[in-house]
Amino acid sequence: MTPDQLQKFCDPLEVRDITKSPFSFGGYTWATNGKILVRVPLIAGARDADYKTAADLFGGGMVGGGIALPTIPAPVFETCKECAGKGYFQQCKCPACQGAGECECQTCGHESDCDRCKSMGYIPDLTAAKEPCEDCGGTGQRETLASIELGIARFQNRYLRLIADLPGFEFQAHGLDMPGRFRWDGGEGMLMPLWIN
> pLDDT: is 57 or 102 the higher one?
102
94 to each of 9, 47, 101, 126, how far by Cα in Å?
A: 36, 39, 8, 14
Q: What is the pLDDT of residues 49-73, one digit of tens each?
A: 888 777 777 776 777 788 888 899 9
Choose the most confident range, by mean pLDDT, from 32-41, 57-66, 84-93.
Answer: 32-41
pLDDT band, residue 89 (cuts 50/70/90): confident
Partners of 147 in the beta sheet? 156
pLDDT given at position 196: 67
pLDDT given at position 140: 93
Distance CA 108, CA 187 (A): 62
